[in-house]
Structure 1
Amino acid sequence: MSIIYPEIPTEATIGVTAPSSGLHRMNYDLLELAIYQMEEKGYRVKVGDTCWMQYKARSASAEIRALELNTMLQDDSIHFIFPPWGGELLIEILDLIEFEKIKPKWVIGYSDISLLLLAITLKTGIATAHGPSLIELRGEDIDPTTAMWERVLRTEPGEEVIQHPSEKYQLEWRNNSGSSSIFHLTENTKWKTISNSPMFVKGRLLGGCIDVIQHLIGTPYGNVPNFQNVHLQNEPIIWYFDNCTMNLTSLRRTLVQMRLAGWFENCSAIIFGRNPVTEPIDDYQETDVYMELAEELSIPVGYDIDCGHMPPQITFVNGAYAEVRIYNTAGMITQKFI
């Protein structure tokens, strides 16, 4: 078996459902603007009821969320699924998803949505896309890094797509009133390696928001060794991680658990997105976490990559063959749909 790459027709329909969090009434305009921008690009948009619901940290009950998601995953008239944004409790619906009935189609998002993305790829071999949320595309002006989501999803099987580091990134979220751009990109981007030497690695991409994907460990939805054997024919993995809220010792504990669970067997490299939680704990620094991991696994480790909650972000495809290059002043990620 190999990786299945969904294809998007010229005239495509987007399914919008909220398997994690929906929107409170005061935020409806955010989704309405995003839908408008998608329609302006020529997409048809089908919006599920869960998007307009939010109560007690989730859009609806697990049963309702799973039913709407399953319906869209099995609907041939919907060509890819774009949740409005992340949330907190997507994990509640995992055992209600009908993985064996999923029709190959793109699912894209990040944060809590990355739990769904990784589970789908590990269970089915269908590629999924870790990239911007739909609501982040509501602006009139989209930066070049974020805008690559569409080029990536429209890459044909057998072809490749190249992405480069952003010029600048967003340090903190601010009110964007009066701006046609959603992000406020003010800080210079620089991809780094823990060894301070160039990195060039090859492998199959897997990853997501480490806060949530860690909870797949030990479940039927997180069997990385089986996926690597069945779908990758034991090719090496390049892991990419976004950290949203974990402090440094929590991050360290999680990485050790992943190693003990076999997630890092036959791993060629690990790359981390920009970390918004860098406060040292008893002199334990962010770079200490990465250095210890590199030494334990004897692999290159990169960090401050365009990935996650400090936008903009590269669109990473779970399951895709990738070549990652990080130089002193530049970098690139090539993804091949093979």
Structure 2
Amino acid sequence: MIQYPLLEKGTTVGVTAPSSGVVNTLHPLLEQAVLRLEAKGYHVVCGQTVWSQHKAKSAPASLRAEELNHFLQNDKMGMIFPPWGGELLIEIVDLIEYERIQPKWILGYSDISVLLLAVTLRTGIATAHGTNLMDIRGIYSDETTAMWETVLATRPGQTIQQISSERYQKKWNHEKPSPCVFELTEPTEWKTTKGSDVILRGRLLGGCIDVIRHLIGTPYGDVETFQRHYIDGEPILWYLENCELSATDLRRSLIQMKLAGWFSHCSGVLFGRSHANKPVEGYDVMDVYEEMEIELGIPVVYDIDCGHMPLQITLVNGAIAEVELRNGKATIIQIFE
């Protein structure tokens, strides 16, 4: 069975940087985000790793793992909220003491999705793919982003509904900060390859495909055992987002997932919006989506609220999800069973 942590008001939130930390010039932004959490009534403990960044990581792997393990094993800490993603979380995936984790929420995306997926696959503890800490530093949050708190406060056995965003952010404009961090300028439309409506149901798993693909073939990416041991063979509904891959690299990565059995019992694939997906010799991302749909015989939905073109739906690894898409708008019900 999946274990669902419960976010309670007043709990202690641990801020650690298992991937990238925050350079000195951006410390004021991190402090703003911490103040937002404290204003909500949470007690915030920041580890040493969050305040430094050197050569693409917050600290050496041993120090990042030590701090993360300390936070994961602290039964007084109800949530772990990294500042953001990064590049090299994979360096510590084998240093995590999975058997000693005290169930608590871990929330984030990008490189953090390596940690999220590894923890859920190894332990059956649900993890949350959604906003990172730095993106809640605004005076207020948009409705989609703000749902992270409601989702993580959902009790085991209950359901939580989210809807697709009204608008999303096309590009970052750091020179013109917004009161809610994001500048939402583009109409959101979730799409299918055939332009039709669709209903999907399955156990959610996923993350940033650039990085979670490196778990394939390791003890931390054993989807088959997870599926058999924790979810009684139920189908998986994958959500994937692409940060930097070209269309052909995305295709290669998906084929590797297929050959590794990650799609062996799958009810559908949801792809996030992306600035990447660069075409190669006329081969573009729509070719990728259409080929995957034909080969796997399952629906493919794309341009969902997930990834590096905000906003973020909060998606819980291990939860049952029912996704209904009609006329470009989606309803996502997650069932914590």
- TM bracket (short chain): over 0.9
SS of 1:87's equivalent?
coil
CA distance in 2, matches of 1:9, 1:285: 45
Cα gap change, 1:170 to 1:337, in 2 (>3 Å): same
Please name the residue that 1:152 is paired with: 151
**How far did 1:176 drift?**
5.2
**How far did 1:7 drift?**
1.3
1:163-174 superposed matches below 5 A: 163-174=162-173
- Could you tell me which runs of 5 or more consecutive residues in structure 2 were left unpaired when the two chains were aligned: none
Please name the residue that 2:285 is paired with: 286
Deviation string for 1:40-65 (max 9, x for gaps)?
11110000000001111100010000
**How far did 1:286 drift?**
1.2
Aligned length: 337
TM-score (norm 2): 0.99
Q: Say whether residues 1:260 and 2:262 are aligned partners.
A: no
**How far did 1:154 drift?**
0.3
Deviation string for 1:81-116 (max 9, x for gaps)?
000000000000011100000000000000000000
Please name the residue that 2:90 is paired with: 91
- Tell me the amino acid that sits aligned with residue 98 of structure 1: E
Q: Say whether residues 1:110 and 2:121 are aligned partners.
A: no
**How far did 1:197 drift?**
1.2
CA distance in 1, matches of 2:202, 2:333: 11
- Tell me the amino acid that sits aligned with residue 230 of structure 1: H
Please name the residue that 1:179 is paired with: 178
**How far did 1:279 drift?**
3.0
Deviation string for 1:70-89 (max 9, x for gaps)?
00000011110000000000
CA distance in 1, matches of 2:291, 2:87: 29
- Tell me the amino acid that sits aligned with residue 3 of structure 1: I
- Tell me the amino acid that sits aligned with residue 292 of structure 1: E
Identity %: 57
Runs of 4+ in structure 1 off by over 4 angstroms are none
CA distance in 2, matches of 1:11, 1:284: 51
SS of 1:79's equivalent?
strand
Please name the residue that 1:248 is paired with: 247
1:60-139 superposed matches below 5 A: 60-139=59-138
Please name the residue that 2:332 is paired with: 333
CA distance in 1, matches of 2:178, 2:45: 27
SS of 1:96's equivalent?
coil
Q: Say whether residues 1:50 and 2:49 are aligned partners.
A: yes
Please name the residue that 2:306 is paired with: 307
Task: Check conservation: 1:208, 1:240, Cα contact below 8 A.
Answer: yes
- Tell me the amino acid that sits aligned with residue 271 of structure 2: F
Please name the residue that 2:276 is paired with: 277
- Tell me the amino acid that sits aligned with residue 258 of structure 1: M
Cα gap change, 1:315 to 1:176, in 2 (>3 Å): farther
Cα gap change, 1:178 to 1:251, in 2 (>3 Å): closer
Task: Check conservation: 2:244, 2:277, Cα contact below 8 A.
Answer: no
